[in-house]
Amino acid sequence: MDYIKIRFASDFDQIGSKSGRIVEDMFRSMLPLFTLSERTLEPQIDVYETQKEIHILTEVAGVEEENLEVEISRKTITISGHRSQMRHTQKGTYRLAEIQYGPFERTLVLPVLIDTEKVTATYINGLLHVRLAKISRDQTYEIPISDG
């Protein structure tokens, strides 16, 4: 049985990388060859919620399972990895090249707090499915009061 790496962390700050991407996209629209850095792929993600869980489905076809990593805090999830470029045996000229290769990283802010003890991830047919158990808002804790 193979395992997907799941790291638990505190909070993440991704504002800097997003602002750089916005500037790059603005200039790319005026001059398609413009780039500040190596363009990374952004896998498509679906997020849906049930009464008890949040489900995150990420399309990462062509990524080896050992190249996937999921990092989770109570408020955010980061899915990262690397898609290696396929080796071509014959010399030729590209006529169309739309498949993106290289590193990727997506960070999502979760709509509710999650229980980091109850996280599962599966990878089947190029889709990474992460299931996150919600922390119930109705959950109460009894706190003992000691003599002063």
Of 143, 96, 123, 103, which is closest to residue 3 (Cα–Cα)? 123
Percent share of the chain, pLDDT over 70: 70
In a domain, residue 27? The reply is: no
Domain interval for residue 57: 5-11+41-84+100-134
Distance (Å, whole) CA 104 – CA 83: 8
Under a CB-based contact definition with an 8 Å cutoff, are residues 82 and 102 in contact?
A: yes
Predicted pLDDT of residue 12: 45
Predicted pLDDT of residue 36: 47
In a domain, residue 78? The reply is: yes
Q: How confident is the model at residue 55 (pLDDT cuts 50, 70, 90)?
A: very high
CATH number (domain holding residue 55): 2.60.40.790
Is the confidence at residue 33, as pLDDT, over 90?
no
In a domain, residue 32? The reply is: no
In a domain, residue 71? The reply is: yes
Which residue type does 40 have? T
Is the confidence at residue 28, as pLDDT, over 60?
no
Q: Which residues of 115-148 are buried (b: 16+ CB within 10 A; e: fewer)?
A: eeeebebebeeeebebbbebeeeeeeeeeeeeee
Q: Give the least confident one: 5-9, 49-53, 78-82.
A: 5-9
- Reported pTM: 0.66
Of 82, 70, 80, 65, which is closest to residue 114 (Cα–Cα)? 70
Please give the tally of structural domains in the chain: 1
Q: What is the pLDDT of residues 84-138, one digit of tens each?
A: 888 777 788 878 878 888 999 999 999 889 988 899 999 999 999 999 999 877 6
In a domain, residue 31? The reply is: no
